Amino acid sequence: LSAWRNGDADDREAPRMFDIGGLAGLTQDAYDDFEPVQWPYRAAAPGGMQRLFEDGRYAFADGRARFVPTAARAPVHAADDEYPLILNTGRVRDQWHTMTRTGKAARLSDHLPEPFVDMHPQDALLCGVGEGKLARVTSRWGAMVARVRFGGGIARGSVFVPIHWNDQFSSDARVGAVVNPVVDPVSGEPEFKHTPVHVEEFRVSWHGFVLSRNALPADSLTYWTRIQGKQFHRYEFAGREAIGGRTEWARALLGVQDPEADWLEYEDRTAGVYHAGYVVNDRLEACVYVSTRTDLPSRAWLSQLFGQDRLEDTDRIGLLLGQPLEKTADAGPTVCSCFGVGRNTICDAVRKHDLKTPAEITACVKAGGNCGSCVPELRKLLGEIRIVEAEVA
C-alpha cells in the first residue's frame, strides 16, 4: 500500500501482507472443520505465520522497511464554551463496523442493544441528562441521539459513542455525522478521537419496547432502535407525543386487526404503564410495553417466551406483569455472549457460592470461559456486589 502511494514502480510487485490465497480451494467440509490461522496464508507457502515479518522482510520488493517521519500536532479543533466535551468514538465488545454481519447475531446484540453515549456522572449532571435517559450529542458538523450510560471509565470532559449503529438499526445514531472532517495529512486517518461536542437532554414523554416475530414499521416513532433476537425482532423506542388510546395504538403498531384476537393487556393510567401481548394458537406472537419512566420490564425473560410452543397460564400472567412469577426464571441482561449467561445468573451464583474471582465464576456458570472479553465486566460485578454487601453489613 505504501509503495503504491509513493509511486515506486520497483516496489509494485511486492507481496500483499493480507494474502489468504492458500485458502482459495477450501472445500465445504474443510471449512466446517477449519481451525483459526494467522495470515498471510499464501498458496506458495500455506500454513500461516506465527508473527508477521518474522522473516525480517517487509512489504517492499527489496524487503526493507520505510520510515515516514511525522511531526506531532495538537488536534485541529479545541473544546470551547459552546462545545465543552471531547467526543471519542470506537467499537464495543461484541460488534464490528456497521453491524452488517454481527448485527444479525442475536447473542452479540443482546449485550449492548442500543447506541449509547458514555460519560462521567458529573458531566452528565452539568448537561442535565441522567443515566438511562436519551440525549442529543451535537457538534459543529452534525448531531445524533443515544441513551446515556455511566460505564465508570470515562474521564471528566470526555464522552464515548460507539461507531456501529446507522440508519438501518436506529433512528438517529450515526456518529459519523458528528465527527469533525479533519484527516491526518500522511495517513488520511480521520480525527475521530477528538471532536468538540455538547450533550443535552432529548426530551420524550414515554419509553417502550416491542418484541415481535414480524418486523414492524418503526419509522413513525420519535426514537427507535432495532435489535435482532433469536426468534423475534426487538425494538426499543420512545415518543414525545402522549399516546391517546393505547389499545388502538398498540394493535396498529403490531398489525393486529382481528377484533377476536387473543389479546392480553394491562394498563395503569396513574403510573403511566401499559402492557399488551398478542397470542396466536397459544404461542406468543408479539408483546409491547410502555411507561412514562425508563424502568421497563426485563427483556431477557420475555425473550425466552418466544422459544415456547405453548404459553402456560403462569406465562400469560407473567406476560401481563412483565416478569415471571418465579424470580429465578429471569437470567437478566446478557453479560457473557459466548455462553448466553445473564447478569442475574452470575450475581446469584456469586452470592450463593461466595465466589471471589472471575475464574471462580467461570468454573461455576461458564461465563468468561471462552473468549474472555466479558472478564472485565465480571470483575465489575464482583466489585458492585461487595459494595452492596458492605453497606448492608
- pLDDT 10s digits, 321-360: 999 888 767 888 889 988 889 888 999 999 999 999 999 9
- Please count the other Cβ atoms lying within 10 Å of the Cβ belonging to residue 313: 7
Q: How much is the average pLDDT of 70-98? A: 92
Cβ pair 278, 293 in contact under 8 A:
no
Question: Nearest Cα to 19, choosing from 44, 2, 36?
Answer: 44
pLDDT band per the 50, 70, 90 thresholds, residue 9: very low
Say what the pLDDT of residue 118 is: 97
Could you tell me the three cell numbers for 69? Answer: 517521519
Across the chain, mean pLDDT equals 88
Dihedral class, residue 207 (left if φ above 0, else alpha if ψ from -120 to 50, else beta): beta
Which tops the pLDDT comparison, 61 or 48?
Answer: 61
Per-residue pLDDT of 375-388, as tens digits, reads 989 998 998 888 88
Domains and CATH numbers, the chain: 85-201 (2.40.40.20), 214-329 (no CATH), 334-392 (1.10.10.1100)
pLDDT of residue 257: 93
What does pTM read for this prediction?
0.81
Going through the chain in order, the beta strands assigned E by DSSP cover 85-90, 116-119, 134-138, 143-149, 158-162, 195-201, 206-212, 223-228, 233-239, 262-268, 273-280, 283-291, 334-336, 341-342
% of the chain surpassing 90 pLDDT: 57
pLDDT digits (tens, 9 = 90+) for 169-206: 999 999 999 999 999 988 898 999 999 999 999 999 99
Give yes or no for a contact between 150 and 132, defined as CB atoms under 8 angstroms apart: no
Cell of 267: 394498563
